[in-house]
A and B are shown apart, each in its own frame.
Chain A
Amino acid sequence: MTKVSMTVNGEAAEGEVEGRTLLVEFLREELGLTGTHVGCDTSQCGACVVHVDGKDVKACTIFALEAEGAEVRTIEGMANPDGSLNVIQQAFQDHHGLQCGFCTPGMVMSAAALLAENPKPSEHEIRDYLEGNICRCTGYHNIVKAIMAASGQDVSRIAAE
């Protein structure tokens, strides 16, 4: 067991981990931050996406020890300081961008990373960026729409209002 410490959602976090402990396991099991989900074992689904030092990372692809000293942000740290939903979260609710909610934390974290680097992505750019996030419920329609809306674009003309 090795000691690991990092900042998670702005607070210092530490614990004892094995070398093989994944970041997602550390977050879920050591820190009890169960908002980050595990949907696969081949790094394909994106349910586990978190931000490490500002970049979106699949938390099942790195060991906890690799995040030593890093700034980690998870879905639990995304709401506004007053606890209300942030712009992306609110857009997901407004546009029904989630159903069972299992892929949702990863979708929100990926969307936040996309909008940080591309503040007004096109439909195509959004679909392309979400290539690593699988949702089985929504058929993606309302996820793409929510992200466009969160970036301030007019989505009222998209089919099937």
Chain B
Amino acid sequence: MPKDHGIGAASKRREDVRFLTGTGNYTDDINLPRQLYVHFLRSDIAHGEIRHIDTSTAEGMPGVKRVFTGKDFEGVGGLPCGWQVTDRHGAPMQEPAHPVIAQGKVRHVGEILAAVVADSRERARDAAEAIEFDIAELPAVVDMKAALASDAPKVHEDLTSNLCYDWGFVEDNRDKVDEAIRTAAHVTTLELVNNRLVANPMEPRVAVGDYHRATDESTLYTTSQNPHVIRLLMGAFVLGIPEHKLRVVAPDVGGGFGSKIFHYAEEAFVTFAARQLGRPVKWTSTRSEAFMSDAHGRDHVTKIELALDADHNFTAIRTETHANMGAYLSTFAPSVPTWLHGTLMAGNYRTPAIYVNVKAVFTNTVPVDAYRGAGRPEATYQLERVIDKAARELGVDPVELRRKNFVTEFPYATPVAVEYDTGDYNATMDKLAEIADFAGFEARRKESEARGKLRGLGVNCYIEACGIAPSNLVGQLGARAGLYDAATVRVNATGSISVMVGAHSHGQGHETSFPQVIAEMLGIDESQVDIVHGDTSKIPFGMGTYGSRSIAVCGSAMVRATEKVIAKAKKIAAHLLEASEADIELKDGQFTVAGTDKSVAWGDVTLAAYVPHNYPLEDIEPGLEETAFYDPANFTFPAGAYACEVEVDPETGKVTIERFAAADDFGNVINPMIVDGQVHGGLAQGIGQALLENCAYDANGQLVSASYMDYAMPRADDVPFYAVDHSCQTPCTHNPLGVKGCGEAGAIGSPPSVVNAVIDALHSGGHKVAHIDMPLTPSRVWAAMQG
């Protein structure tokens, strides 16, 4: 019986009312008195030396307050990188300076050359056009392998090469893996590209800086997934503003998908300029600017080898990946192809020996960082594609080959340094077979063929590491931050509750799902609980939302804080009931003395805490408010199995998704409606990557897909209704809610099954195509069919 409230209920989202009536408060809806506007002049050259910039005409134009260039930022810190990777030989990665405004050189199209601040957006834009500049163009490096040639132009002349790091994982496994591959009964090799993507939350980034001279306080309103991270990075490393003088507010945020994790130059600029000018400064990104200034995602080129023994047991995996960093290191960029990718290379399988090599490369392109899944989609894609290819080479059923190699005993320590706590991969595969109707596939294929279409079925599994992350572990791996989260549960006198959380909701529905947990724990109505998030002046120091961590990490902090509240409330109840604390039970919002009918209501206890007339003041303080910080003991490991059914038009190469099914194990689920929605959205992004989306540069470093005319976003008619299921639940063993996280699964799990399905369809039509790189556009599919 589905529950109608508390944990497990499909409670309707309370945040919807404001979004459906146009009364949300997004950053661009914020306008401050006396606000100025900044327009950034951006480089249209990928690589060049700035010979000269003349801003004098622009400065004299109507409404212009000031024009800033790199010179104004000479004494200001650069944008910091939050993760240091150590290479195979024990050396730290190469880490170039990352200026707020270009200093001396431009290194990618879109880099900020100058900033005009004026009293209107139009005037700032007009004046930017009057800035004269001379950039001596240098040869650009775009292709990663070419960038590593000894004579390649250097993106950063002060570095020894364009190689950021050469990472080996686990380096000690290397010889064992080489040996296993040399002696294997069968080795399947696949070279593939994980295409560069742009996250494209529908709300472009916005930043508004404000400064009050009287108190020396700065405020930044920004489209961020993690306001405290921005406060820390910008305050401590860029502008030198102490935390107590810097407030960062991320109000309603229109999607992030990773791209709003990072600290960006524009945020530092508006905060800096507001201090300089003594007036608020606002920047609203256009979509065109977003394409050339938001961090991009993916962009890996990989060779993977899978070794099998004569019984088709996986014996070894060896991979070699080139990962594009772009021109500078974005906030968490180095961690994505390494610790979020190499550690997942075991997938759902028992493979005893694994070695992952990653060369991270600087190029004259926009910085690349985490995008929904971040490293895990890249790992899943190559693994699940090579398994399918192996099955085809060996003439075995791809699902059976997977099942044969599944990890079935938990906990399971992989050879790539992580330990899966729970899972049941056969259960999700069984569920998938049911909801995807494997049994009916042949009949559907015949029906398609009768219409002259090729039909294919593609399946894949995935596992991801979420609930990021144990601080002591990530510290050893190079993180320059802790990755706990925090919550303060403030119980008010009449029993209503405000919960201040470090997680940030930008579509995930925390305002609805988090109260469900507290309501369940206390036995009170969900409507009694409100969530406060997104403002560093109101919430405890938390690390924000990414990596499917909100409920697993911040939710756990909230549970811990609520447990403290309950413990104190029981003390108060014991006093009021003149009973022993150990005998007090809390159920349905009533404190009862066990075995009696003596009870006191939640609201009476909370009132006593704030009006402590009859109260054990000698033992406990008045008030009822508790904070907890929660640092996870391990990652969580959501996993599942996905199936895609496509039709391919043999005349045109056009692929249509006919059916898509996803069977996930997220552990316990707080709000199944929200979880379904998270999976749906991820699936569309994964299908988009597989069929449509591609961020393309030409050889000169020009971004050729810089608008929705050229970058194909998935639209309503590109996707089907999805069959999703999360009834297979192996609860996480190390967090109090037994939750694993669900935000990224759809995007991680879907691209391989789409590609596997297309390859299957082509084979059914007699086209022996081994692989096609994403996106599988009609022209690529058609060309592959022609041989």
Contact = CB atoms under 8 A, between A and B. Distances in A.
Contact of A127 (B16, B203, B709, B716): B716
- Residue in B13, B18, B21, B713 whose Cβ sees the most chain A Cβ within 10 Å: B21
A160 B200 contact: no
- Residue in B200, B204, B288, B714 whose Cβ sees the most chain A Cβ within 10 Å: B204
Given A38-B28, A44-B707, A93-B13, A85 B684 contact: no
Contact of A40 (B508, B684, B708): B708
B677 A136 contact: no
B723 A160 contact: yes
Contacts of B20: 75, 85, 89, 92-93, 98, 101, 104, 108
Main secondary structure of the interface of A (DSSP, over half): loop
Nearest to B21: A79
Interface in B315-363: none
A136 B713 contact: yes
Interface stretch (B60-68, B226-234, B247-255, B536-544): B247-255
A41 B509 CA distance: 28
A33 B29 CA distance: 9
A74 B746 CA distance: 33
A27 to B, nearest CB: 10
A131 interface: yes
A99 B507 contact: yes
Given A76-B23, A134-B713, A136-B257, A39 B683 contact: no
A62 to B, nearest CB: 17
B684 A140 contact: yes
A120 B684 CA distance: 25
A138 B721 contact: no
Nearest to B671: A96
Contacts of A134: 202, 708, 713, 715
Contact of A99 (B26, B286, B677): B677
B612 interface: no
Contacts of B237: none
Contacts of A63: none
A45 B21 contact: no
A51 interface: no
Contact of B26 (A33, A102, A128, A135): A102
B106 interface: no
Contacts of A92: 16, 20
Contacts of B677: 96, 99, 137-138, 141-142
B495 interface: no
B1 to A, nearest CB: 15
Contacts of B22: 33-36, 74-76, 78, 105
Nearest to B721: A159
Contacts of A89: 20-21
Nearest to A105: B22
Contact of B716 (A33, A101, A144): A144
B623 to A, nearest CB: 35
A143 interface: yes
A37 B254 contact: yes
Contacts of B257: 136
A47 B202 contact: yes
A158 B713 CA distance: 24
A68 interface: no
Given A131-B715, A133-B716, A96 B676 contact: yes
Interface residues of B, number: 61
A65 interface: no
B443 interface: no
B683 A139 contact: yes
Contacts of A96: 12-13, 673-674, 676-677
B33 to A, nearest CB: 14
Interface residues of A, number: 60
B738 interface: no
B5 interface: no
B28 A34 contact: yes
Contact of A101 (B254, B284, B286): B254
B681 interface: yes
B43 interface: no
B376 interface: no
B19 A139 contact: no
B590 interface: no
A100 interface: yes
Nearest to A108: B20
Nearest to B676: A160
- Residue in A34, A74, A94, A143 whose Cβ sees the most chain B Cβ within 10 Å: A34
Contacts of A33: 22
B175 interface: no
Interface string A110-151: 000000000000011011101101111111111111000000
Interface string B56-79: 000000000000000000000000
Contacts of B684: 136, 138-140
B721 A144 contact: yes
A103 interface: yes
B716 A100 contact: no
Nearest to A132: B715
B96 interface: no
A10 to B, nearest CB: 15
B116 to A, nearest CB: 18
B416 interface: no
A144 B715 CA distance: 12
Contacts of B722: 139, 141, 159-160
Contacts of A37: 26, 202-203, 254
Nearest to B14: A93
B682 interface: yes
A160 B725 contact: yes
Given A99-B509, A100-B506, A141-B721, 18 more contacts: A33-B22, A34-B28, A37-B26, A40-B707, A76-B23, A93-B13, A96-B673, A98-B19, A101-B507, A102-B202, A127-B715, A134-B202, A136-B713, A137-B677, A139-B680, A139-B685, A143-B716, A160-B722
- Per CB-CB distance, the 8 closest pairs between chain A and chain B, nearest first, are A35-B22, A101-B19, A102-B254, A139-B684, A100-B507, A99-B507, A139-B680, A44-B708
Interface of B: 12-13, 15-24, 26, 28-29, 31, 122, 200-204, 252-255, 257, 284, 286-288, 435, 506-509, 673-674, 676-677, 680-685, 707-709, 713-717, 719, 721-725, 746
15 contacts: A37-B254, A40-B707, A41-B707, A44-B708, A75-B20, A75-B22, A89-B20, A99-B507, A105-B22, A108-B20, A127-B716, A131-B716, A134-B708, A138-B680, A138-B684
Interface of A: 18, 20, 28-29, 33-42, 44-45, 47, 74-76, 78-79, 85, 89, 92-94, 96, 98-105, 108, 123-124, 126-128, 130-131, 133-145, 158-160
